[in-house]
Structure 1
Amino acid sequence: MPDLSVLDPSQILPFVLVGFAAQLVDGALGMAFGVISNTLLISLGVAPRVASATVHTAESFTTAVSAISHVLHRNVDWWLFVRIVLPGLIGGITGAYVLTSIPGEVARPLVLAYLTIIGLYLLWRGLMHRHVEKRPKVIVPLGLVGGFLDAAGGGGWGPIVTSNLLIQGANPRNVVGTVNTAEFFLTVTISATFIATLGLEAFTAVTIGLLIGGILAAPLGGFLAKRLHPDRMLTLVGVVLTVTSLYGVWNSLA
């Protein structure tokens, strides 16, 4: 672990801002910490592999604070949580340890294209229709797929699970709070081997900055999710999902 006494604050400040911005969006809308963090870190000159390792390490801590915030703000639907977290863990473990015949480079553009369509639909629904709340029916498969893609592809839990629960009519505030809370258990499970392998080398100055920014923003996400109108949340989720997915498609095909 780096010696914090010799770290130059000016060196970690950009990464603090990256962590703050990414976690603020993720905590309020239930997705995009990994996408935003990776994109901004790489744009700041961080090597892709280092960026990925840093984001996964930081998420193990920021999701814990985010989960506490959502629980305190009563954003968690425990009926939904119980049904989503166990399949998510199974999918995450499977994605981490089972080799698939389809390379991630091939599957990623297809998943991102699907998410772009979902994002556009949510955007249209948020702008043109009033949200009608009802219990989601398809839950377990979402947890399995979301957990698997998050482990195997480096992301996907929030975009897959949050967007599909919203399409089924679940309350946006409860979806965001529940998905974020479940993500803590998923992230810790997926990252356990990763962190054990890297050891203290995972804690670089970049990681410290991302952690500080993410932890500072995490309580605000629960506060915002509690106060945003359902239709406005649908619109914002649609915008974030569409923009990040389109960027991912372009980046994968470039």
Structure 2
Amino acid sequence: MLEEILLFMAIGFAAQMVDGAIGMAYGVTASSVMMSMGVPPSTASASVHVAEMFTTGASGFAHWRARNIRPELVWRLALPGMLGGALGAYLLTEIDGHIIQPFISIYLLAIGGLILWKALHPRLPRPDMAPNRVRALGVTGGFLDAIGGGGWGPMVASTLIGAGTTPRYAIGSTNLAEFFVTLTISATFVATIGLHLWPAILGLVLGGVIAAPFAAMVTQRLPDKPMMILVAVIIMLLSLRNLVEALDKMMG
């Protein structure tokens, strides 16, 4: 058990270093690695989301203290996101992992592509999103986050910033809303499949906590662009490998 905890501490450490450095991709990084190790999609997503409850809670509180949130934006994202997250988590537990894994790998591949695109293209400001579009974004982001084990940040924050929302409010509000979405997704997994990989969850949490101060230092010294490109390439390669393996199993 100690070896397993240490392994997932390393994964949690790496994922938190990524997230702390570029403000996103904890879930997709950890989920991509876990799935490449053979962990079923539902178990990977459940483990990552329970661990993320701690990181998103701390992050959301920090943004609230720093006044980086807009309350109306938080709730327009959080409430629909909780609904989408619960539906996504329930669907993931009802579908055989071997069937859904290729689709999840494609989704994670697309998220990697989104991060890469974001790194290579400047943001073009546009008018603020209408409230109904924000709610639709919340539902979609929550659903896909639960299905893929991550992706809320890259999808929601990127869309808001691209739509003209002030970056500090987009990132802060997305982070605080993510806590409520993650809490709902975790509760859905507990109620349906339970939690079996406690060593994995403990390792992810410990690794993330240890990495947090180092990630903050990396943020100060490393430019965003090369870090985002590196993370995007790693996620895309892992997802591509998972997709090839899943398709081989289906065809074999």
Common fold by TM > 0.5: yes
CA contact (8 A) 1:31 1:158 kept: yes
Correspondence for 1:183 among 175, 178, 194:
178
* Mapping of residues 222-241 of structure 1, within 5 Å: 237=228, 240-241=231-232
Q: Name the structure 1 match of 2:136.
A: 141
**Would the alpha carbon gap of residues 237 and 84 (structure 1) be closer, same or farther in structure 2, given more than 3 Å must change?**
farther
Question: Per the alignment, do residues 28 and 69 of structure 1 end up closer, same or farther by CA in structure 2, a change over 3 Å counting?
Answer: farther
Q: Which amino acid aligns with 2:52?
A: E
Structure 1 residue 54 displacement after superposition:
2.9
Does the aligned pair in 1 maintain the 2:125–2:162 contact within 8 Å? no
**Structure 1 segments unaligned to the other structure (5+ residues):** 1-6
Indicate which of 206, 210, 214 corresponds to 1:212.
206
User: How many angstroms apart in 2 are the aligned matches of 1:250 and 1:202?
Assistant: 23
What is the alpha-carbon distance in structure 1 between the residues aligned to residue 7 and residue 201 of structure 2?
Answer: 11
Shift of 1:224: 8.4
Equivalent residue runs for 1:51-200 within 5 Å:
51-97=44-90, 104-105=100-101, 107-108=103-104, 110-112=106-108, 114-126=110-122, 132=125, 135-137=128-130, 138-196=133-191
Distance (Å, rounded) in 2 between the aligned partners of 1:134 and 1:224: 33
Structure 1 pair 246–11 and aligned structure 2 pair: CA distance change class (3 A): closer
Say if 1:241 and 1:86 are closer, same or farther in 2 by CA, change over 3 A.
farther
Match of 2:243 in 1: 252
CA contact 1:81–1:179 (8 Å) conserved in 2: yes
Gaps of 5+ in 2: 246-252
Measured in 2, the distance between the counterparts of 1:95 and 1:88 equals 10
- Tell me the number of residue pairs that the alignment of Structure 1 and Structure 2 aligns: 236
Contact 1:30/1:179 (<8 A) preserved: no
Q: Secondary structure at the match of 2:121?
A: helix
Give SS of 2:83's match. helix
Compute the TM-score of the two structures, normalised by the length of structure 2: 0.72
Per-residue CA distance 1:190-224 (angstroms, 9 max, x = gap): 111323456674422x3222212223445777898
Contact 2:73 2:173 in 1 (8 A): yes
- Aligned equivalents of 1:42, 1:93: Cα separation in 2: 21
- What is the alpha-carbon distance in structure 2 between the residues aligned to residue 75 and residue 172 of structure 1? 9
Question: 1:87·1:143 contact (CA, 8 Å) conserved in 2?
Answer: yes
Distance 1:241 1:125 in 2: 14
Deviation for aligned residue 1:75 = 2.6
C-alpha distance after superposition, 1:90-146 (max 9, x if no partner): 21122233579xx634543553454355334322323xx7x6485334312111111
- Check 1:87–1:136 CA distance in 2 against 1; reply closer, same or farther (3 A cut): same
Taking the aligned partners of 2:235 and 2:224, their CA distance within structure 1 comes to 16
Cα pair distance change 1:207/1:55, threshold 3 Å: same
| TM superposition shift of 1:173 | 3.1
SS in 2 for 1:139: helix
C-alpha deviation, 1:51, in angstroms: 4.5
Q: CA deviation at 1:147?
A: 0.8
1:11/1:215 CA distance change after superposition, 3 Å: same
Kindly provide the amino acid, as one letter, of the partner of residue 244 in structure 1.
Answer: I
Cα contact 1:60–1:187 (8 A) shared by 2: yes
How many Å apart are 1:238 and its aligned residue?
Answer: 6.2
Identity of aligned residues (%): 39
Change (3 A) 1:253 1:172: farther
1:26 aligns with 2:19: yes
Distance 1:106 1:200 in 2: 23
Match of 2:249 in 1: none
CA distance in 2: counterparts of 1:38 and 1:123, whole angstroms: 21
